[in-house]
Amino acid sequence: MIPMNDGPAATLPTMRLSGLGQLYVTTVGAMAVMSVTEGSNAWYVALVVLALPLSLLALWVGFYAGLAVGFAVGGGADGLSWPAAIVWVAVWTATAWINAQMLQKVLRAGWRTIAPRPVEDLEDDDLR
């Protein structure tokens, strides 16, 4: 049985991206759009390099999410459907957002910010 907490629910404060972080997310989103619309492999390479810390995860999630959406909307094997392309761009943009959030936390508070530890041990400064 899980004990009930009578106090107010703890919520994490929202963290906004800096201007440079927003530019990074926008650039990765634009590269994702270019990789879908253009036939060149150079856009895929640029996309993977730009989102490097989590690019393998984004490739995996983007491929299978796009495949699931393609099956759901009845996309054929002859081309990429627009819903699958939107999912591809959304996955890469979300990956860039996560990368930017992690980098901002590391630049502000150091590597100790992303070290795995229980939430109860975190201080208020670590959560902002």
The CA-based angle 62-64-70, given to 5 degrees, is 100
Residue-wise pLDDT tens digits, 63-91: 888 888 888 887 666 667 788 889 889 99
Residue 57 CA from chain centroid, whole number: 9
Domain range for 59: 19-110
Position 6 in a domain: no
Residue 98 lies in a domain: yes
128: in domain? no
Identity of the highest mean pLDDT range in 5-9, 80-84, 93-97, 119-123: 93-97
* Confidence bin at 118 (pLDDT 50/70/90): low
Judged against a pLDDT cut of 90, whether residue 33 lies above it is answered with: yes
| Strand positions, DSSP E, 9-120 | none
CA 27 – CA 90 distance, rounded (Å): 13
Residue 5 forms part of a structural domain: no
Q: How many structural domains comprise the chain?
A: 1
60-to-20, 56, 120 alpha-carbon distances in Å: 27, 6, 32
Residue 97 lies in a domain: yes
Instruction: Inform me whether the pLDDT recorded for 7 exceeds 80.
Output: no
**Full-model pTM:** 0.70
121 compared with 39, residue with greater pLDDT: 39
Report the distance separating Cα 65 and Cα 113, nearest Å: 30
